Structure 1
Amino acid sequence: MQTRNPRKRLMLAVTVALLAPGLAFGQTAKEKELEARIAQLEAQVQALLSAQQQQQASIAQTQTQLDEVKVAQAPAADGKPKIQSTPILTAGNPNSTFSYGGFIKFDGMLTDTSDGAIADGSSGRLFYVPSTIPVVANGAEPDSDPYTDFHAQFSRFWLSADHVTDNGDKLKGYVEMDFFGGGSNALAGNEVATNTYAVTLRQAYVSWNNWLAGQTWSNFQDTAALPDAVDFVGVTEGATFVRQAQIRYTKGGFSVSAENPQTTVNTIATAARTNGTGSNTMPDLTARWVTKGKWGHFSAAGLLRQFKAGDETASGAAVSLSGKFNLGDSDDIRWMANYGDGLGRYMAFGLGPDTALDANGELHAVTGMGGFVAWRHVIGPKLRSNLMYSMAAFDNDKDLAGWNLLSEAATERASSIHANLIYSPLPKLDVGVEIGYGKRELEDSREGDLKRVQATVKYSF
């Protein structure tokens, strides 16, 4: 025990010094043995204390490391887990959230077309495009042997950077790409050796609260109504399907946009198609209203367009109704119906034109209609099926000046039916097979059909 008085400490030291020789002299052998045991016990206690201190230090270090891991993996304010504690977007806004995803998709197809093969390298060899179904002249005997195509061009990846300011403003930058765009050069892009294909832009936009600017799906299109197909779209004829640059404003379930304009033209006299004149002045204008609930969703969209070819102009308008109705936990119906003047490039991948140019040089909007219905049934936790029907038709006005036998080659109608089974043996892994039949009919009653069996393996990440 320590004493706080220096004089008392000095007196105690002197007393111990005077008594020590006598105490040492008076120790017995038994007392010495006891002191030796005490010293041994003290050494053991000291060793135990040292080991305990080392153990506590190791536990503290481990706890610190665990706390650091928990902080790195803790959900952000938006509920998404952090990838790391240090910034990934070094040039971006502080505390931005970076995300990355996509899928790898393999497609294998066996195709049989009644009026000859679809040209190798055509998009119709990679997915269902009704305008590429061959229709030969009357009396011709086309080669209709089946043919096989394998590819992985629809594999996709995307990157997103999201930021919320201190004032609650939401900023988002999004870029999405795939490999459906042909080879980077004639040698590398062929199917003889390397099958090398270029990265192509699908979407690239920035959004700020209710505003969006950049390339994304047209506001006239309801992507949520598209069915669960093995093919890229499946219900191609009746689906609106356009990605393009635009400026969009969204408030609740209502949205409006001004989008990139292009006019496709069929010249009556020659039946030649011009895909995009590039001379439009007014952007395409759209408006959409969507309502949602546990029952599904319903969407109504409108489209206003100006068409221009040279000095000639025309106008058109179209409507699109679509939605998804849930039928219990295992079934839903997805559907779409489109009608209007100048639907052209917005529906069926441009199966019909926006306009027709007559022999007098006057431009006329072409009336079109189309739609689809699809039934999705969940068979079990890992297996689902889909049955789809789709159609499109165009009113090619035969009374226009210059209509002739060449004009009769215009597409009047196309339709298709698809059925598939999709199995998911593991999370995010889909293995599917789909059978499809499609038919294209011309104004002169000629027609050609397509039969296809398609298999896919898709892993999403």
Structure 2
Amino acid sequence: MKVKYLLPLGVMLVTPTYAADFSVGGFLKTNVKFADGDLPFKEIYDGIMPPGDTTRKTQFSAQESRINATVTKGEVKGFIEIDFANSAQGNSIVSNSYSPRLRHAYISYEGLTVGQTWSTMVNTSTFPESANLGGPLVGEAMVRQALVRYSFDNNAWQVALENPTTYGKYINQDDQLESYPKEDDYIPDLIVRRNFGGDWGNVSVAALVRGLKPVDSYEAALGGSIAGKFNLPGRDDLRIQLHYGNLGRYVGTGAALDIFHGELETTLGGTVAYRHFWNDNLRSSIFYGQTKTEIENNNRRQYAVNLFGNLTRELVVGVEVGRYDVDDGSTVGRPENIRGSSNYVQFSMQFFI
């Protein structure tokens, strides 16, 4: 929805008014999810999976609903978006009152982007259509954070300095895992990305360089990512991500640490998804995602198949059947290995504003 209005700048006798474009977007989404297995229930499967008991649970939820606003004044664009997912406030006892959370808030001007948005590592076109928000998050590069990014050569090149945060753990004297302090995060993360595109689809290649402090001195952490969406005959497409290196928190939404007990973690992760259109309104995606780490020896994966259809242009319904597996090998700082699986069925209805 777009609205055009007039805004005065300064004194109208001195500076003339000018038009600004204002648009509102987002969607309302309702999920019904049933999960059965020996892992804890999660409304959204990501890479974080703490130990837990066998779970058989049905959950109704509207937390993934989101709303955004865009304001454009000349060559300046501002964008802000909120949703209610992963809120720590609400509960299902009485009111299900979930707090809004900030997803995006940025300003863009002539190739410069400043604020919070998708990390330059992230190629959102490679996310599969999924009832689980974002698809197999356990294998994806999926980070939003504050950054300063410059894009040039028609967006073929992107260079960014992004917010540094250490996601690491060490073993204390009681043989328990504790988080590394974040007081030493003063070197911004550097990401350089090259984009390629055409009628065939798109491919992005990104490199990450950052300084991490596993013990007493800084070390350079390096990692790379390749992601692409390839258009196939008809309206079908193939979506792929592949990541390797000292990527830590950039891949797997919590499946991999940056530092584990004084060593830089090395991560191998990726996703593959194929989408097929049965007709103009009906399509299916089948996807697989996995992240493995060398030092902590985590191994987490998700796979699923779904069916989506449009009741109207703006109203989409879907059903997804999938499985989430954890086969971690390390018992360091843990009472036991985190191993198990959870099968799930999820129904969704989504109304795009």
User: Shared fold by TM > 0.5?
Assistant: yes
Aligned match of 2:305 in 410, 419, 438? 419
Kindly indicate whether structure 1 or structure 2 has the higher relative contact order, using CA contacts under 8 Å at least 6 residues apart.
2
TM-score by length of 2: 0.89
Counterpart selection for 2:37 from 100, 113, 116: 113
1:94 aligns with 2:13: no
Look up the match of 1:306.
211
Per the TM alignment, residue 377 of structure 1 is displaced from its structure 2 partner at its CA by: 0.3
% identical equivalent positions: 31
Once the two structures are superposed, the pairs formed by residues 46-195 of structure 1 within 5 Å of their partners are: 83=3, 86-87=5-6, 94-115=18-39, 117-118=40-41, 125-132=42-49, 134=51, 142=53, 144-164=54-74, 170-182=75-87, 184=89, 189-195=90-96
For residues 389 and 415 of structure 1, the distance between their equivalents in structure 2, rounded to whole angstroms, comes to: 7
User: Is the deviation greater in 411-420 or in 295-304?
Assistant: 411-420
Most deviating of 145-154 and 95-104: 145-154
Q: Which amino acid aligns with 1:431?
A: V
Task: Quote the Cα distance in structure 2 between the aligned partners of 1:416 and 1:82.
Answer: 38
Shift of 1:198: 1.3
Q: Is the 8 A contact 2:214 2:259 kept in 1?
A: no
Deviations 1:12-35 (A, max 9, x none): xxxxxxxxxxxxxxxxxxxxxxxx
Q: State the Cα distance separating 1:284 from its structure 2 match.
A: 0.4
Q: Distance in 2 between matches of 1:364 and 1:234?
A: 30
Q: Is the 8 A contact 2:265 2:293 kept in 1?
A: yes
Q: 1:387 aligns to what?
A: 286
Relative distance call for 1:196 and 1:91 in structure 2 (3 A) is: farther
Question: 2:13 maps to which residue?
Answer: none
Q: TM-score, normalising length from structure 1?
A: 0.69
8 Å contact 1:441–1:447 — kept in the other structure? yes
Preserved CA contact (<8 Å) 2:290 2:300? yes
> What is the aligned-residue RMSD (CA, Å)?
2.1
Contact kept in structure 2, 1:213 and 1:246, CA below 8 Å: yes
Find the aligned partners of 1:133 and 1:436 in 2 and give their Cα distance: 19
Counterparts in 2 of 1:90 and 1:196: CA distance versus 1, 3 Å = farther
Q: Displacement of 1:279 after TM fit?
A: 2.1
Q: Which has the larger radius of gyration?
A: 1
CA gap of 1:391–1:244, structure 2 versus 1, over 3 A, is same
C-alpha distance 191-211 of structure 1, shift in aligned 2 (>3 A): same
More helix by share: 1
Contiguous gaps of at least 5 residues in structure 1: 1-80, 119-124, 136-141, 165-169, 358-362, 397-409
1:99 Cα deviation from its structure 2 partner: 0.9
**Aligned partners of 1:259 and 1:285 also within 8 Å:** yes
| Alignment partner of 1:231 is 2:231 | no
Residue 371 of structure 1 is aligned with which of 256, 270, 279?
A: 270
Structure 1 residues 91 and 424, CA gap change in structure 2 (3 angstroms): farther
Q: Show structure 2 runs of 5+ residues with no match.
A: 11-16, 331-336
Match of 2:333 in 1: none
Give the distance between the partners of 2:198 and 2:58, measured in 1 at CA.
Answer: 43
Cα 1:412–1:183, aligned 2, differ >3 Å: closer, same or farther?
closer
- Tell whether the 8 Å contact from 2:33 to 2:346 is kept in structure 1 after alignment: yes
Per the alignment, in what secondary structure is the counterpart of residue 45 of structure 2? coil
Q: Which moved more, 1:437-446 or 1:211-220?
A: 437-446
Measured at CA, do residues 200 and 90 of structure 1 come closer, stay the same or move farther in structure 2, by a change above 3 Å? farther
Question: How far has the Cα of 1:391 moved from its partner?
Answer: 1.0
Aligned residues between the structures: 337
